[in-house]
């Protein structure tokens, strides 16, 4: 398979999800870094009109969004068996868990982009509510992660839920948006997932513009 291009950041949890999928699926890829999140030129985002990342360029196609990219990578790899997608989560608990992971990933971006990149006051109700909801979502996930993971098909090779949750937890240590001391079940889960070669080959890094 020819290599594909991923427009994103090595320090982004959304980008890392797609990188782990590419690694697991054996898809060769090139990272095209987005160095400055203040940039508003769509061409820097592979012409993604939403100015969001990651974006996948594969042949003549441009694919927007993390889950969409993961599905496209799986198609590119021949749709191998053993991947658990969100529509295969059948219990309310499983579906709530995936929803809260997506929510938490978006909330962290909201807080980081607003307070660190945008230099807006962190005590604004917009960010305070996001942080309170973020903490609540993480608490719920910590209480439910073990039964949710145990209820996934034992024959699975990869699941979007576990990949997104791992990338979220690791990113909280990388960006230190809030303390992670009070989530022991999430820490155990992340430590187990971190042993996968795909996780070890995709550590968070700061993309530095070449001189």
Supply the angle between the helices 13-25 and 160-175 in degrees, to the nearest 10: 130
Confidence of residue 37 (pLDDT cuts 50, 70, 90): confident
**Given the structure tokens 């001189």, which residue do they identify?**
211
Residue 31 pairs in a beta bridge with 6
Q: Whole-model pTM?
A: 0.95
Three-class secondary structure of residue 53 per DSSP? coil
| Residues paired with 158 in a beta bridge | 83
Angle, nearest 10°, between helix axes 160-175 and 184-193?
110
Domains of the chain: 4-82 (3.40.30.10), 85-197 (1.20.1050.10)
Q: What percent of the chain has pLDDT over 70?
A: 99
pLDDT band, residue 1 (cuts 50/70/90): low
The residues pairing with 47 across neighbouring beta strands, listed in sequence order, are none
Find the mean pLDDT for residues 32-40: 92
CA 27 from chain center: how many Å? 18
Q: pLDDT of 168-186, one tens digit each?
A: 999 999 988 888 999 999 9
């Amino acid at each position: 398979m020819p290599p594909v291009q991923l427009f994103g950041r090595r320090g982004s949890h959304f980008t890392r999800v797609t990188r782990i999928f590419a690694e697991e699926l054996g898809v060769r890829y090139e990272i095209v870094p987005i160095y400055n999140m203040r940039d508003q030129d769509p061409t820097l985002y592979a012409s993604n009109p939403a100015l969001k990342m990651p974006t996948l360029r594969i042949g003549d196609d441009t694919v927007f969004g993390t889950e969409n990219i993961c599905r496209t990578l799986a198609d590119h790899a021949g749709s191998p068996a053993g991947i658990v997608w969100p529509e295969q989560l059948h219990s309310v608990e499983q579906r709530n868990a995936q929803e809260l992971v997506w929510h938490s990933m978006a909330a962290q971006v909201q807080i980081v982009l607003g307070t660190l990149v945008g230099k807006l006051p962190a005590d604004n109700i917009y960010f305070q509510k996001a942080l309170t909801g973020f903490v609540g979502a993480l608490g719920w996930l910590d209480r439910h992660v073990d039964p949710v993971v145990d209820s996934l098909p034992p024959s699975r090779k990869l699941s979007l839920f576990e990949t997104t949750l791992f990338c979220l937890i690791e990113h909280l240590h990388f960006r230190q948006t809030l303390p992670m001391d009070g989530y022991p079940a999430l820490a155990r889960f992340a430590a187990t997932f971190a042993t996968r070669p795909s996780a070890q080959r995709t550590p968070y890094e700061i993309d530095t513009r070449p001189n």
